[in-house]
Structure 1
Amino acid sequence: MQALHLSCFTATSCLGAGLGATLDTLSTNRSGLARCTFETVELSTHIGEVAGVDDYRLPAELADYNCRNNRLALMALEQDGFAEAVRRAAQRYGAARVGVFLGTSTAGILETEQAYRKLDSSGAFVDPPNYQTRHTPYALTDVVSRTLGLAGPAFAVSTACSSGAKVFASAARLIDAGVIDAAVVGGVDSLCLTTLYGFNSLELVSPEPCRPYDAARRGISIGEAAAFALLERPADTLPGDAVLLAGVGESSDAYHMSSPHPEGRGAEAAMQAALSSAGLAARDVDYLNLHGTATPSNDAAEGQAAMRLFGRDVPMSSTKGATGHTLGAAGALEIVIAALALQNGLIPGSPGSHQLDPALELDYAFAPRRQALGVVMSNSFGFGGSNASVVLRRADAKGHA
């Protein structure tokens, strides 16, 4: 595929708002996970809750969009000069030539949950939920497009935990086809009772902060996040630390409704496709950000795929011990983390993990490492076998066109 420039990117999660807070927390191997006190939830677990979302106020003209997911999205757009960078791009290309493609899983379902708890004696809503502007996945894309003043193609992707990565492939295809010149891509997912109780019913929620790839891992810690990137065709000259989207690979193994193929066949296919898309070999990758949810089956399956493809030659880690699993936002959040890793020569550690699963022979980074990086890959895998792998590289990566 044609390489695209991540000309601006940002992330807000339980690690903090913006790139500075994110990088600082990752550099010191700290976790943003805390014991769950969210809403009316009564579960013994830890979550990654973003501070300040309840206090954030949408502009008056967007009042109909008021929900936790949309507040988190607009709060994140204000970080790192991202909104301003997008508006400048719209001036260069025209608002109709900039697309918006965002991943989410539950969108604004929290407000619907709350509305159903306030039915009157006849069973009618006391405060009827606004499905169109809050609950639906497209509500996220709509409010972001309106906020940024964009009029190009726009849609939401909801493929569970691969959503925030698959939008990079969607945008790349439309730019390559000449439909648009630039795209806002990303993912936003916020805490709600549906996911917390839902994953708990599947016996996938850990009572302690999650421990990806650890021999004693016990399940996931759910988080929330918003992460965005602006994709453009690269200029003729770029600074050396500019980050390029080099390749994207997708697969759909459809092995089971909620479990990955036990040998990680779908994961391996996505990684191979991403390398092929980028014109690279496995030996060219300097760091792999694993999906690494900390469930026994996910880490075992992905780990086997990574062993077959990379062996112990490539350093790897999952950053979900720091952020929690942010579901539909995870792909975008971890691609931004991978971009930070490239620019800063940092292989993130894995807070909470201490002893590698003995069945997996990997070079797993438990603590942060300082190392020059030219090419990194990030994995995102969702329920139903929806898989996506993304390859990023620095503009000055030696040996790579």
Structure 2
Amino acid sequence: MKKQGLPHGIAHWRDGYRVRITADGKQWYIGTYTTLTDAKAALAIANSEKARGIFVPPSHKRQARKELQAQEARDAVTVDQLFSRWIDHLTTNNRAVGTISSYSSLYTTHIQKTLGDKLVGEVSEDDIDDLVASWRSTPSRINPSASGNGFWINAVSALKGLFTFAVKKRIGGITTSPVKVVLPEASKSVRVDNGTEHVATPQEVDALAKAMPKDMALTVYFAAWCSMRMGEVLGLQRQDFVDLDSDYPRVRIQRQWNSKHKPSTYTEPKDGSARVETIPQFMVPMITEHLTAHVGKTPTSPMFPSPRDSRNPMTHSRLDSMWRTRRDKILPGFKFHDLRHTGLTTYAQTGATIQEIMDRGGHKSVEVAMRYQHTARERDKALTRQMNEIINASRS
């Protein structure tokens, strides 16, 4: 072939014709074509675009197509796929096993059927509102006469976390979360209720403890008056008790029994809340008697051993089953965790500072402790009103 006579910008290349164009002081490769006619046509189109100021180099077009395809792939993510990535993220960032397990259970039970197959970008605020409305209209298994089932608060919290993750990681093509549901104020940090259904009197705590099997009565007192979570109560061992024969008896809360871990095992208390608490004196004789009658002799012997294997604590489900059966005769619907609320509320009523409440409950949030102080203030107002009535009555 003769190389002469080819238009400027076209050159022979192997068995075809390579087309290049100079734009903005830089030479751009347009393509290689089999025939000279096709090469001339491509060059003419490129020169026309250059003259009109709309020329885009083919390499830039390819990159734009790749980015568009990648974005479409990111946008074509289902809620199921998003949830899987969220759980992987939480696991990688060492979120508590119990928290991850709770999220997974809530998702599988209450969210997946309705939203799982939807694309993340297709989930609307109305979809979320309709789902939450259906949750709130579901009767409580514990109290069927109640207006709604309390699980919805935790389920909404899970949804908020899930879609916030999508926004932050730019998954599904969304820039704002469709979860706009406003949770009750108390549920944003801790569920503390000024009503009697969540705070027991000391007499009711005694009644609940006495209703339990004798070797389990202390579980109630530890939960209430040492402000322990159920896992922390089950995590207690012989070695955790200090100076029981002094006027300053203490218990070290160093671990929890984590039944949600597979297999069950000891883990650190929730949110790194290991602490040492002073034990009310009235509990000391009970603890001493319990250690003698029901606990193994080694330092690591569990305070509340499993009937199947005394080397390990009993399971959450066994303790919860015993608790539910007996509490229904005294305070129907009262949760084991409400004992902890009861203890911290009572502690706040003594005039404890915010920091002291945080230390007692193993809290990291000042806002949580302030809620207990608020409860104490409400109690103080009520008692002051009663005192005022007595004073007025005596003066009239």
Please indicate, yes or no, whether the TM-score normalized by the shorter chain is above 0.5. no
**Based on CA coordinates, which of the two structures has the bigger radius of gyration?**
2
**If each structure's helix is expressed as a fraction of its own residues, which one has the higher value?**
2
Higher relative contact order, chain-length normalized (CA < 8 Å, sep 6+):
1
Instruction: Name the TM-score, length of structure 2 as normaliser.
Output: 0.29
**If each structure's strand is expressed as a fraction of its own residues, which one has the higher value?**
1
Instruction: Name the TM-score, length of structure 1 as normaliser.
Output: 0.29
